Structure 1
């Protein structure tokens, strides 16, 4: 990306800019973030130290075989476009390898930017929902405020009251959730397949929710690890912060699910019959024989 292109992109945030673009990033997630040796990572490392698989051109040396070589966690992670933003805008294309004086500051700024971009992703989604017409003015204002924060200097980004801003954003996201779920609740009155309801942060670890009617359900922060959601209907459900690791989404309908991210989809299991929102991509590992065997066990 040229300097002129960077300057042009600096003045607006498109939906595409809220998804990772590794070609324009300096491998920040592979350096800045720590991870422990586990089922998701064959080897652990400290934050600020490069992953052993990171090459001098900031590309992964085992990208095509990450899952086979024990780095499943890398295939799940999503920076929401923070990587390219910090690399090309905040630090104006000056990478940490040739400019080591920027390294620590760049690595510290990256997770801050990641959180701001995640908020923007949710806010932009809320704006396009027909149910949120009554709060469009507030949503647009918060999008503008959050966008401005992403263009601050590294020093100013590190001084941000991030938790305070997130709390302000969350007020609008909760209003969005209520507006959407009320609509689905009215649609479900008298439905043959009774609608399941849960409280925020519900523990549904390994739960059997096959063919469950979860339309408009409050699944914010729910633990859906290894849950069986095969053929479940999650249209209108709020899944912000829900943990879908190894959940079986085969045949599930997620077309109207709100605040669903690519990272959540990447961490789950699914198949060709899983219905996804158009803005999300079907993970490549869903079509592998290994994934099919795992689904049969659930």
Structure 2
């Protein structure tokens, strides 16, 4: 049986428990994703005094698609309610707000790692390294509970590199199992970081492939077989996943799916939900 440390209920954004940090701390660049420019540390004009978005129901129509595909993995409520004890950025000295905005992206990256590590512990194929994964999970959780000063000083990029060694090993173990069950010889395709923007991959056999960091922007993946593929960091913006099979694909996140196109025939892992806007694509 898979490891029991697989609960990710705290790794979903809960806007009701957050002070709208993603609407303030992050930078918006006027583009297809955002209707306006907004520097980090300045509140979005659509953010109300109650920390709620005033156009939440119409974000796509008003040019804020980027907001609809973003997920903080629960970092917003962690920083708001735990790290800063429920004291919002609107009150107190400017230093309080600045530190909160500095800490939020760090905790967001740590929570994303928690998502991947928790998923890895649920993969039977990764059982040989479950002990190492569990230790990494526990250490990462401890890091998220540090003081604001400690979090601001953390070299999160270096820490991600250390954890990535384990995630890469997890990928190798999981994908080898997929290749074996499909009777395929040799290693599954390694397309890490591949430039597949606009690629015609309709019906492609990508079972057990590594698509880590691949650029699949606007790629045609209609009917593609992505079972057991490693999707960590794959850019799926405007990729067409209509009738694609992603069952068993791992390290796939909700933001990635939210940025793609799909429909009722798209088969997904249980760890993610079908984006609401896909109904308009059918």
Q: TM-score range by the shorter chain?
A: over 0.9
Counterpart CA distance in 2 for 1:277 and 1:199 is 21
Q: In the alignment, what sits opposite 1:168?
A: 162
Is this contact kept in 2: 1:207–1:224, CA < 8 A? Answer: yes
Matched, 1:119 2:126: no
Residue by residue over 1:244-277, the C-alpha shift from the partner in whole angstroms, topping out at 9 and shown as x without a partner, is: 0000011111121110000100000010111111
- In the TM superposition, residue 187 of structure 1 has moved relative to its aligned partner by 2.1
- In the TM superposition, residue 210 of structure 1 has moved relative to its aligned partner by 1.1
Residue by residue over 1:80-99, the C-alpha shift from the partner in whole angstroms, topping out at 9 and shown as x without a partner, is: 11000000000010011123
Counterpart CA distance in 2 for 1:177 and 1:14 is 20
Matched, 1:186 2:180: yes
SS at match of 2:9: helix
Matched, 1:134 2:128: yes
Counterpart among 2, 5, 17 of residue 24 in structure 1: 17
Matched, 1:152 2:143: no
TM-score by length of 2: 0.94
Q: In the alignment, what sits opposite 1:295?
A: none
Is this contact kept in 2: 1:13–1:147, CA < 8 A? Answer: no
Counterpart CA distance in 2 for 1:42 and 1:190 is 47
Counterpart CA distance in 2 for 1:63 and 1:271 is 23
Matched, 1:254 2:246: yes
Matched, 1:279 2:271: yes
Matched, 1:143 2:137: yes
Counterpart CA distance in 2 for 1:55 and 1:163 is 33
Matched, 1:96 2:114: no
Is this contact kept in 2: 1:80–1:114, CA < 8 A? Answer: yes
Distance change (3 Å), C-alpha of 1:219 and 1:117: same
Question: Structure 1: 5+ residue runs without aligned partners?
Answer: 1-11, 293-298
Residue by residue over 1:129-165, the C-alpha shift from the partner in whole angstroms, topping out at 9 and shown as x without a partner, is: 0001100100000001000000000000011121221
- In the TM superposition, residue 198 of structure 1 has moved relative to its aligned partner by 3.7
Is this contact kept in 2: 1:196–1:213, CA < 8 A? Answer: no
Counterpart CA distance in 2 for 1:285 and 1:264 is 13
Counterpart CA distance in 2 for 1:81 and 1:223 is 26
TM-score by length of 1: 0.89
Q: Give the helix-richer structure, 1 or 2.
A: 1
List structure 1 runs of 4+ shifted beyond 3 angstroms: none
SS at match of 2:10: helix
- In the TM superposition, residue 62 of structure 1 has moved relative to its aligned partner by 0.3
Is this contact kept in 2: 1:205–1:223, CA < 8 A? Answer: yes
Is this contact kept in 1: 2:29–2:38, CA < 8 A? Answer: yes
Is this contact kept in 1: 2:133–2:166, CA < 8 A? Answer: yes
